[in-house]
Amino acid sequence: MEHAPTWLTYGFLYLTAAVLAVPIAKALGLGAIIGYLAAGIAIGPWGLGLVSNVQDILHFAEFGVVLMLFLVGLELQPSRLWALRRPIFGTGTAQVLGCAAVLFALGALAGLPWRVSLVGALGLALSSTAIALQSLAERNLMRTQSGQAGFSILLFQDVAAIPILALLPVLGAAAGDGAGHTPGEMALEVLKIVGVIAAIILGGRLLLRPVLRWIAKSNTPEIFTAAALLLVVGIAYLMVMVGLSMALGAFLAGVLLADSEYRRELEADIEPFKGLLLGLFFIAVGMSIDFGVILRSPGLMAAILVGFLAAKAIVIYTLAKLVNIPYQERPVFTLLLAQGGEFAFVVFQAAAGASVFPAETASLLIGAVALSMLISPLLLVLLDRVLLRRYAQLKSEPRAEEISEPQEAPIIIAGFGRYGQIVSRVLLAQGLRTTVLDHSVEMLEVARTFGYRVFYGDATRLDLLRIAGAEHARILVIAVDDAEQSLKIAKLAREHFPQLQVVARARDVTHWNKLRDLGVTLVQRELFESSLQSAHTVLELMGLAPAEATAITRRFRTHNIALADRMYPHYKDRAKFIAVAREGRNQFAEQMAKERQESAALGATGGAYPGYGEPGSPQSADGAASAQDVDKSRP
């Protein structure tokens, strides 16, 4: 039998491992990253031994990190990046130098040669961009203060890796291998680096958009996808040729295209490749863990791992306090930056190649970094389940105008998003006093900018509702976005403040039904009225008189509300629920079709506008209704 090609065999192994391990890890609440790492360990040299060329795969998989940085750059316009210059070069410099100084001191105290201590400290000071950004994205923390600070530090680390790598040949020459560069050669390298970065910036400004516009005019989607990949691959190749970080070059290209008209299409084309290659990168990290080194020196490995994680955590947590990151966000911020990074692999391998330290030392350090990348996601899960749950029960630090004194307004509004703002503005225009609560610091800043007084606080807390005056208020408006939070607030209100009339916003029919279960009857589906307005506009555009379009949409509104009341008792029985929905829709469609026929017979204009079919035709109302099924997740 003919053997399968290597690429097919490895592709089958990686995809099988990922498809099996990731869903299991997600089901256990451990996250996708742990699933990928576990898959890598399972098929790697120290697992089933199905894959041996780990370093080749790791180098290829690093392209996933490159694509991720390109997409991050697409989200950052140059003006926004310029606004981040202080945290990038201020906080970033403080993190790298602070962690490196502490780690260098620990190495010196342990009796290591100063070159080993210095390179080890610089390599271990770096963090995993892939794991950190992925974890921040999964937790929706990228827009928070800790997310912005973490991103700034990670970006600076990519920049800092350049001089670290440039330092290695000098240290190797000082150690006596004669591999150093002359001052002239070093100056030439610096000029080459500056020239490449300048070429990317100028080329991005002058050439990229016209080229993409020319390709887009071909109306060939697969070629545009190929062009997007070629752009990233080409810049990564250029950066490698001059010894720079591929991720840094891709990031710069993304920033240059952040305000272009092709940004969304580039994101859509590259996103699938980024996800798969990032998964492959995590699998490769799992495969690269050298358990042989760990087994030969378990005590030393544990000391390195615990030592550098603890030292970095102390420095980073102190830095988080100095830059006023909210204390609830500090544990995740600290842990994500305390772990080792993928660039440390490159630094330590290059250091061994330059004879800065032996290959055995490089293996120990690489093993410690890989282990830190393995246990960090596990520690994040532990953090979420234990420490952050305790934080949620504590009184938060004042980050905005916290509600602390009892309020007496007759109306309480929970949530000041797009829904709550409109309700609040109408009431304020009528001179009605309200107490508005929102637990989003960003939303509070927006409210303050426009002159609204909004209190910081989570309305799902009973003590906070009491302070807001729920015992004496007449009305509670639940306008929060999250359905689970909405239900929790409604339950607290019905149990503890029975005098409150609750007016709630429902995201969909399922949410509406659950609010009804809690005894809340004044519920508005958030898209229902705006959808009716759009339908009214379409009817007018099709030729109906405004009065007739209004009558039709009003009748539909009345019918739909009545139908929802009929469906409500059966919403837990899906078969019955769907049957009632279909029956109600068909009855309404048949009634409307009958009225159109009668109007046509009398010579009226109703139903005579172009494009409106006869009853039962594809364009008719009853035909459309009979083809519809009930999607309980929709309004």
**333-349 pLDDT tens trace:** 888 889 888 778 777 87
pLDDT of residue 102: 92
Higher pLDDT, 142 or 569: 569
List, as own/partner pairs, every contact residues 426-433 make where C-beta atoms lie below 8 angstroms and the sequence separation is at least 24, other chains included.
433/408, 433/409
Q: What is the DSSP letter of 528?
A: H
Single out the residue of 13, 115, 49, 34 nearest to residue 292, CA to CA: 49
- For 572-610, what is each residue's pLDDT tens digit? 877 887 888 888 878 878 877 877 777 777 654 444 444
Percent with pLDDT over 70 in the chain: 77
Q: Quick one: pLDDT at residue 391?
A: 53
CA distance 331 to 141: 13
478 pLDDT more than 60: yes
- pLDDT tops 70 at residue 479: yes
pLDDT at residue 521, rounded to an integer: 84
Average pLDDT along the chain: 76
Residue 111 has pLDDT above 50, yes or no: yes
250 or 98, greater pLDDT: 98
Specify the amino acid at residue 457: G
Residues 400, 173: Cα–Cα separation, whole Å: 55
Write out the two tokens for 496: 């503890």
Q: Does the predicted model carry a pTM greater than 0.75?
A: no
Q: How confident is the model at residue 59 (pLDDT cuts 50, 70, 90)?
A: low
Residue 488 or residue 264, greater confidence: 488
DSSP 590-610: HHHHHHHHHHHHTT-STT-ST
pLDDT above 90: percentage of residues in the chain: 4
Which amino acid would we find at residue 230?
A: L
Q: pLDDT-derived band of residue 624, with 50, 70 and 90 as boundaries?
A: very low
Q: Which of residues 261 and 210 earns the better pLDDT score?
A: 210
Q: What is the pLDDT of residue 312?
A: 92
Query: Where is mean pLDDT largest: 165-179, 264-278, 459-473, 591-605?
Result: 459-473
| pLDDT of 315 strictly over 90 | yes
According to the model, what pLDDT value does residue 628 have? 35
CA distances from 348 to 40, 91, 122, 124 (A): 21, 25, 10, 10
Is residue 487 predicted with pLDDT exceeding 50? yes
Cβ neighbours of residue 353 closer than 8 Å, sequence gap 6 or more: none
Q: Mean pLDDT, to the nearest integer, of 261-286?
A: 74
- Tell me: pLDDT of 430 over 60: yes
Q: Classify 182 as helix, strand or coil.
A: coil
Burial zone of 371 (CB within 10 Å; 0-12 exposed, 13-18 middle, 19+ buried): buried
Residue 314 has pLDDT above 90, yes or no: yes
Q: Closest by alpha carbon to 287, among 463, 55, 442?
A: 55
Q: How many Å apart are CA 138 and CA 124, to the nearest integer?
A: 25
Residue 318 binned pLDDT confidence (cut-offs 50, 70, 90): very high
Per-residue model confidence as pLDDT tens digits over 147-200: 888 888 887 887 777 677 667 766 665 555 444 455 666 667 667 767 777 777
Whether 1 shows a pLDDT value over 60: the answer reads: no
In the predicted model, is pLDDT for residue 252 greater than 70?
A: yes
d(C-alpha 459, C-alpha 438), whole Å: 7
**pLDDT of amino acid 190:** 67
Q: Is 70 exceeded by the pLDDT of residue 219?
A: yes
Neighbour order of strands in the sheet with 475-478: 455-456, 434-438, 411-414, 475-478, 501-506, 522-525
| Phi, psi dihedral angles at 47 (to 5 degrees) | -110, -115
Residue 101's pLDDT is 92
Higher pLDDT, 350 or 369: 369
Q: For tokens 């491992």, name the residue.
A: 17
